[in-house]
Every structure is written in structure tokens, then in C-alpha cells.
Structure 1
């Protein structure tokens, strides 16, 4: 291939990219890279080709091309080639490559080998399941994975599952003066075996409901009062939302629980029995 032909193909690739024709753009880049893998601008071409396959959710190709893009990118400077490779390597469970990619981006990782299970703080993830979208809180295990710590209302989603999210925030939540990013989910990385139940509880005082939530979370289970859920339009959800810690209500109300049924019943009985008057529950039913 002559350089003049390569320039024309790159021009076509740019046009395809602008039109969001990811497959065509990636194919054109690869045609050029097969002949000119190490030209001065080739790092950008490798990156764009890999990114196109990321948009297509073709993770094997995103990994293959991402390795080449990262090899031509500076380490320790937050170069996005490392981030995208880290995502693709994580999806393939290639922990050696994922660790090297995150280090290349500039992250400090916990010592060791294999799967990364660190403490990267809290964030939010926008779950997306068959068009149903819900923002939940996660505990981040690595730069791209987090454990869900809400009881989702979305059908088929569960407390404790591990989700893999994108690297570019798409919204913010501000709580107590601290800003948390909202990432978009890329895929469900590990399902949770904790079933979801709903129950009606009677709480004489808001502190009673807080005690119920604390009791379940102390046992590594989940409890989510219906009053803690809020609905937002897409524009608001993808913007900056200022939220105050939810104030629990008193009286009869629905609560979603994540726990094995026997444990849910035991903990509900324990909670109700801690006060002679003012606490009760009924109508435990499985919902997911």
C-alpha cells in the first residue's frame, strides 16, 4: 500500500467515525495499520480502531487492538488507551494485562496477582437492562468494577452483583458536599445469588426503620425502603443531582430485602422482637 492510498483510507476512516459507523471506521484503520503500524500517528489509529470495537461491544477485538494502542502510548500519564485496554482485559479476565493497563494509566493497585479486589471508593452506576435504567450505588473494586450495595428495583437485578462500568462519567451525585460520578454499565460481570423479597413493615419511629436497614447490612444483606427511591428524567439523571441522605419514615411501608428467605424471616423476627411495641412485619414475598 502506498502512503497516498493510506492517507485516503485514513480520511475515509475519519468520515466514518464522524458518522458513528464504528465497524467501517475500525476496518479502515486496520487496513492502514497492516502496512503502517508504527508511523508517527499510528498510536491514534490503533486507539480509534480499538475504541470503535469497544463501542460495538466486540471485546476480543477491543483487547487485540488495545494492546497495540497501549504499547505506543506513554505510561503513567492517564492515557485513555490504557483505560480501554483495562476494561477489555478485565472482561476477558486477563488479570495480568488488566493490572499492567491500570498501572500504565497511573493507578496504584493493591499488591498481588490475579483478580483485583481493592477499595476504590464509592460511585454510582446506571444499570441498563432491556431498556430499564436505574442508578444504584456501588463499592468500587477496581477502576472498572463495582459491587452493587442497593437492592435494585429493576427486574432481574440483585444486591451484591458485580457490574462492569465505563470510564467516562455520565452524571454526578452530590451528597454531603462530596461529588460522586455516575458511570454507565457496560455489562453484568458477576451475578448475585441473593434473592430479592418485598415485605410490609410497621415502624413506630424512623429510628426503627434505620435499625432494620442496619441489621440487614451488618449481616452483608440488603434492605431498601421504598421511600428511599426517587424518579428522575434522563436529562436530570445524566446531570448533577444534589441529594441529602434519605430520612426514613415511620408507619407502614414496603421494604425490599436481599437475603435468603430463612435469613430474611429470622432477621425480621429479631428486629420486631427488640421492641415490645411499635415494630412488626407481614407479607414477605419473592420478587426476584
Structure 2
């Protein structure tokens, strides 16, 4: 291939990129890279081709091209080529490459080999389930994976599942003075076996409801009052929002993440701890008719 032909293909690749024709853009870049893999600007071509396949969720190609992009990127300087490689390697469960990518980016990892299971703080992820979007809190296990610690209200999503998220924040949430980024979900990495239930609880005061939430948390399970769910439009969701977890007295719906028998046992225990002021009824799966028999005193 002559350089004049390569210049024309690169021009077409950039035009396709601007039009968000990711596959065409990547194909054009790859045609040039077959002949000019190590030109001075080739690191950008490798990066753009890998990124295009990331947008397409073609993780095998994103991984292969990402390796080439990272091989031409400076180490320890936060170059995004390493971040995108880390994402693709994580999704493909190539832990050796993932660890090398995060180190190349400049992130210190827990010592060891294989899957990364560290403590990288908390963040929010915007789940995307067939067009239904919901922002939930996660505990970050690595730079791109996190465990969901809310009980999602979106059907099919569960407390405790592990998701892979993108690296560029698309919003912020402020909770008790701490600002946390919101990342977009890329893929469900590991599902959760904990089913979701809905129950109506009666709480004499806010402390009673707090005690219920704490009881489930102590057992590694989830409990989320309906008052904690806030509806935002897509545009507003990408802004900065103060998060206030409203816990109030009275009757209200609570979403639970637990095996059914364990949920009933803990609800009974909670209700039985006070003679007056705590009750529950109608434990059922979301969307199903609830039985009328109450539980607790």
C-alpha cells in the first residue's frame, strides 16, 4: 500500500468515526495498520480501532487491538489505551493482561495473580437493561468491576450482582458530603442468586425502619425502602445530585434481596423485637399479587 492510499483511507476512517460508524472506521484503520503498524502516529490508529470495537462490544477485537495500542503508549502516565485494554481483558477474564494494563495505567493493585478482588471504594453505576436505566451504588472490586449494594427496582437485576463499568464518569452523586462518580454499565459480569421480594412494613418510627435495614445488612442481604428511590429524566441523571436516603415511619413498601425463608425469618425477628410498632405483610415477588396474611405481631 502506498502512503497516498493510506492517507485517503485514514481520512475515510476519521470521517466514519465522526459519523459513529464504528465498524467501518475500525476496518479502515486496520487496513492501514496492516502496512504501517509502527509509524509515528500509529499508536492513535491502534487506539481508535480498539475503542471502536469497545463501542461495538466486540471484546475479542478490543482486546487484540488494545494490546497493540498499549504497547505503543507511555507507562505510568494514565494513558487511556491501558484503561480500555484493562476493560476488555477483564470482560474476557484475561487476568494477566488486565493486571498488566492497570499497572501500565499507573494503578497499584493488590498483590497476587488471577482475578482482582480489592477495595477500590464506592461509586455508582447506571445499569442498562433493555433500555431501562437505573443508577445504583457499587463496591468497586477493581478499576472496572463492582458489586451492586442496592436492591435494584429494574426487573431482572439483583442485589449482589457484579457489573463491569466504563471508565469515564457520566454524572455524580453526593451523599453525606462525599461526591461519587456515576459510570455507565458495560456488561453484567456475574449474576446474583439472591431473589428480589417486596413487602409492606409498618414502622412506629424511623428508627424501627433503620433497624430493619441494618438487620438485613448484617446478614449480607439487601433491604431498600421505596422512599429511597428517586426518578430522574435521562438528562438530569447525568448531572450532579444530592442523595438523601429518606427513612420514615408508617406503612411503606420495602424491597428485599434474600432467600424467601431467610427474609421471613428476619422479618419475624425484627417485628418480634418490639411489642408495638413493627409489623410486616404481603411478602411477594415484584409484580405478583401479594397474599393478604400479615406477618409479625
> Could you tell me the TM-score, scaled by structure 1's length?
0.98
Aligned residues: 287
The equivalent residue for 2:157 is: 157
Is 1:173 the counterpart of 2:169? The answer is no
What secondary structure does 2:150 align onto?
Answer: coil
What secondary structure does 1:142 align onto?
Answer: coil
1:176 offset after TM fit, Å?
A: 2.2
Where does 1:25-44 land on structure 2 (aligned, <5 Å)?
25-44=25-44
The equivalent residue for 1:261 is: 260
Where does 1:198-237 land on structure 2 (aligned, <5 Å)?
198-237=198-237
Runs of 5+ unmatched residues, structure 1 = none
Partners of 1:249 and 1:15 in 2: CA distance: 55
The equivalent residue for 2:278 is: 279
1:11 offset after TM fit, Å?
A: 1.0
What secondary structure does 2:183 align onto?
Answer: strand
Partners of 1:256 and 1:13 in 2: CA distance: 49
Question: Per-residue CA shift, 1:42-97, capped at 9, x if unaligned?
Answer: 00000000000011111100001000000000010000000000000001000000
Partners of 2:240 and 2:198 in 1: CA distance: 31
Partners of 2:160 and 2:77 in 1: CA distance: 33
The equivalent residue for 2:107 is: 107
Partners of 1:137 and 1:272 in 2: CA distance: 28
Runs of 5+ unmatched residues, structure 2 = 288-297
Regions of 4+ moved over 6 Å? none
Partners of 2:277 and 2:175 in 1: CA distance: 31
The equivalent residue for 1:54 is: 54
Is 1:6 the counterpart of 2:6? The answer is yes
The equivalent residue for 1:66 is: 66
Partners of 1:215 and 1:133 in 2: CA distance: 29
Partners of 2:21 and 2:40 in 1: CA distance: 25
Question: Per-residue CA shift, 1:16-41, capped at 9, x if unaligned?
Answer: 11111111110010001000000000
Partners of 2:149 and 2:175 in 1: CA distance: 16
The equivalent residue for 1:139 is: 139
1:247 offset after TM fit, Å?
A: 3.0
- CA-based RMSD of the aligned residues comes to 0.8
